[in-house]
């Protein structure tokens, strides 16, 4: 007696699942300019490496005999494992063709098999969400025959656990609403695609019911909102294929989990490369701006800088790079935006990078030209003091090796946020460095207000005082008293290569979960 009939049914069910929500749903997906969930997996994962899990979960209908399969609608997601750049990852791809990706089968329950999140935790491998899901739907109430208490954190706690153990990435590839919108941010990095992606907790009908006005999905939550204003999403891709490449690049800098060292690539750049441009990179006139991106590229391995959130908090540049093949986190002040002054948005972006590097054991490199925290009424309304307090606290709590190069200014508490008083920390300064509790210009007017006010020529007295203070502002005066290292800017790459090499021994002692858990 053979089980061929049952084996044939397995094949049939998988064939039906491969049709996703059916021809009409797939056609609508293409009309919206989007790939299907299965096409996304195929384009993202290394060729031939995909292993799907739970392929038989869904809703079936049977003939009068209760045995003959008549139809089968799969769950609203394609789940499984595959390799990205040769390393195993877990993938959940929302299938919008099945009820808008808002359900269609449980991932695990009584007697259920482990889902993708649970297996990513147990296998300790990166977890990637390819999101295209509308979240919950009131249609589910009718099918269930009742409503339910929103105890979603029973499942979301696994997302929190993942953030503390393995790299997590979210890609918003359509309209992402409800819980999936929150999951967009329950990640170490996220990306959206221009023209097809929107993220919001409730869509236009919900906004209309709650607030009484009409709005389109695009106006509510596309890249115009989330890339440069809210900062909810880090990077923007022009196509889905570009989004997959961005994710692959991001993951290449990180280990598979916190118990492993970040992967080193074969160095292709001279560790002793000295760029002549660095000698004149910082203008003598402090009112002039310069290209911080070029300085970053001059000191890290060529073509290795991967910028994170380039359109948000633009006064700080943050990202990942390699130095002599080793992954590092890197940040720099951007004098072309607010003169490099740290505002609330820039501070939030820096906090995320520090937490990322500390969680996954990457050395931090800081290229500093810090005028201070943003001042003014708008900055006060946004709570710059609380943002500054959080930045200082996260800096002090961090453990990973940290190297700082003071290229220009380093003033006040914002300057203080570039310095860590414990652990493996090293600072070098360029001859162009200037520091203190505040700028001499402006600071002199406050500190010597009475003397200036009572003089015969206030403007001349102010200039005299500022000149006197500038004479003692040279970094060499500081070096005489403190031993501060001042280096030829052209030697920056050389000293950073040595630092990152030495940092590997310290990083090896920090493997495992961070005592200060990652927070998005």
8-45 per-position pLDDT tens digit: 888 888 888 888 878 888 888 888 989 999 999 999 99
What is the pLDDT averaged over residues 331-338? 96
Q: Considering only 190-204, 220-234, 438-452, 488-502, which range has the smallest mean pLDDT?
A: 438-452
Residue 178 in contact with residue 200, Cβ under 8 Å?
A: no
The CA distance from 364 to 332, in Å, is 11
Q: What DSSP state is assigned to residue 337?
A: T
pLDDT class for 419, splitting at 50, 70, 90? very high
Q: Strand locations in 371-518, DSSP E?
A: 402-411, 425-429, 434-436, 485-486
pLDDT at residue 111 in the model = 54
Q: For CATH 3.90.226.10, list the domain ranges present in the chain.
A: 34-55+75-252, 276-430+487-508
The CA distance from 253 to 267, in Å, is 14
pLDDT at residue 464 in the model = 63
Q: What DSSP state is assigned to residue 338?
A: G
pLDDT at residue 110 in the model = 47
| More confident site: 152 or 352 | 352
Q: Name the burial class of residue 143, with classes exposed (0-12), middle (13-18) and buried (19+) by CB atoms within 10 angstroms of its CB.
A: exposed
Superfamily of domain 276-430+487-508, CATH level 4: 2-enoyl-CoA Hydratase; Chain A, domain 1 (3.90.226.10)
- What percent of the chain is predicted at pLDDT more than 90? 65
Q: Is the pTM of this model over 0.75?
A: yes
| More confident site: 435 or 505 | 505
pLDDT score of 147 more than 80 = no
| More confident site: 19 or 171 | 171
The CA distance from 93 to 95, in Å, is 6
Reference 353, options 292, 414, 309, 401; nearest CA is: 309
pLDDT at residue 98 in the model = 86
Measured CA to CA in angstroms, residue 243 lies from 11, 234, 459 at distances of 32, 12, 56
pLDDT class for 102, splitting at 50, 70, 90? low
pLDDT at residue 136 in the model = 64
pLDDT at residue 426 in the model = 97
Q: Considering only 24-28, 83-87, 269-273, 423-427, which range has the smallest mean pLDDT?
A: 24-28
pLDDT at residue 107 in the model = 44
Q: pLDDT of 461-488, one tens digit each?
A: 666 666 666 666 688 888 888 999 999 9
pLDDT score of 139 more than 70 = no
pLDDT at residue 67 in the model = 83
pLDDT score of 106 more than 60 = no
* Mean pLDDT, all residues of the chain: 89
370 Cβ neighbours under 8 A, 6+ residues apart: 333, 340, 341, 342, 409, 410, 411, 414, 415, 417, 418
pLDDT at residue 444 in the model = 53
Q: pLDDT of 115-132, one tens digit each?
A: 999 999 999 999 999 999
Q: Considering only 98-102, 168-172, 212-216, 272-276, which range has the smallest mean pLDDT?
A: 98-102
| More confident site: 412 or 443 | 412
What is the pLDDT averaged over residues 172-192? 95
Fold designation for 34-55+75-252: 2-enoyl-CoA Hydratase; Chain A, domain 1 (3.90.226)
Residue 494, H or E segment: helix 492-508
- CA contacts within 13 A on the Cβ side of 418: 33
The CA distance from 126 to 117, in Å, is 10
pLDDT at residue 445 in the model = 59
Lookup: tokens for 438: 């505040």
Lookup: tokens for 333: 């002040």
- What percent of the chain is predicted at pLDDT more than 70? 89
pLDDT class for 108, splitting at 50, 70, 90? very low
pLDDT at residue 489 in the model = 98
pLDDT class for 109, splitting at 50, 70, 90? very low
pLDDT at residue 441 in the model = 61
Highest mean pLDDT among 367-376, 383-392, 399-408, 448-457: 399-408
pLDDT at residue 447 in the model = 61
| More confident site: 61 or 313 | 313
28 Cβ neighbours under 8 A, 6+ residues apart: 97
């Amino acid at each position: 007696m053979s089980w061929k009939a049952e084996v044939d049914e397995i094949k049939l069910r998988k064939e039906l699942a491969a049709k996703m929500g059916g021809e009409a749903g797939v056609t609508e997906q293409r009309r919206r300019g989007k790939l299907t969930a299965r096409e996304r997996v195929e384009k993202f994962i290394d060729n031939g490496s995909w292993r799907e899990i739970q392929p038989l979960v869904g809703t079936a209908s049977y003939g009068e005999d209760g045995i003959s399969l008549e139809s089968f609608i799969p769950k609203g997601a394609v789940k499984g494992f595959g390799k990205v750049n040769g390393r195993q990852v877990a993938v959940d791809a929302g299938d919008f063709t099945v009820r808008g990706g808002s359900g269609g089968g449980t991932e695990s329950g009584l007697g259920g098999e482990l889902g993708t999140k649970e297996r990513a935790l147990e296998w300790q491998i990166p977890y990637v969400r390819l999101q295209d899901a509308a979240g919950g739907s009131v249609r589910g109430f009718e099918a269930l025959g009742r409503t339910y208490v929103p105890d979603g954190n029973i499942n979301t706690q696994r997302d929190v656990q993942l953030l503390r153990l393995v790299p997590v990435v979210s890609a918003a590839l359509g309209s992402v609403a409800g819980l999936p919108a929150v999951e967009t941010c329950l990640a170490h990095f996220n990306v959206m695609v221009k023209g097809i992606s929107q993220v919001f907790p409730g869509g236009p009908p919900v906004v209309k019911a709650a607030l009484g006005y009409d709005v389109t999905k695009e106006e509510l939550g596309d890249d115009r909102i989330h890339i440069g204003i809210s900062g909810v999403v880090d990077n923007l891709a022009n196509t889905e294929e570009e989004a997959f490449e961005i994710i692959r690049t991001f993951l290449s800098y990180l280990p598979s989990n916190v118990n492993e060292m970040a992967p080193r690539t074969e160095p292709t750049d001279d560790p002793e490369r000295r760029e002549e441009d660095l000698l004149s990179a910082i203008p003598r006139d402090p009112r002039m701006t310069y290209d911080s991106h070029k300085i970053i590229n001059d000191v890290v391995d060529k073509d290795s800088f991967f910028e994170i959130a380039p359109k948000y908090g633009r006064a700080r540049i943050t990202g990942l790079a390699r130095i002599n093949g080793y992954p590092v986190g890197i940040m720099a002040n951007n004098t072309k935006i607010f003169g490099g002054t740290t505002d609330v948005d820039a501070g939030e972006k820096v906090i995320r990078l520090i937490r990322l590097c500390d969680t996954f054991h990457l050395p931090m490199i800081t290229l500093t030209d810090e005028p201070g925290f943003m001042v003014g009424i708008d900055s006060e309304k946004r709570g710059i003091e609380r943002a500054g307090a959080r930045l200082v606290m996260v800096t002090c709590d961090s453990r990973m090796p940290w190297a700082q190069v003071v290229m220009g200014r380093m003033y006040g508490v914002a300057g203080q946020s570039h310095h860590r008083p414990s652990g493996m920390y090293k600072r070098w300064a360029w001859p162009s460095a200037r520091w203190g509790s505040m700028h001499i210009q402006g600071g002199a007017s406050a500190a010597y207000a009475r003397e200036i006010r009572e003089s015969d020529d206030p403007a001349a007295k102010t200039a005299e005082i500022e000149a006197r203070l500038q004479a003692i502002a040279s970094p060499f005066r500081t070096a005489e008293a403190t031993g501060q290292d001042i280096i030829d800017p052209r030697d920056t790459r050389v000293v950073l290569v040595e630092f990152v090499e030495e940092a590997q021994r310290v990083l090896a002692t920090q493997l495992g979960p961070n005592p200060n858990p990652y927070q998005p």
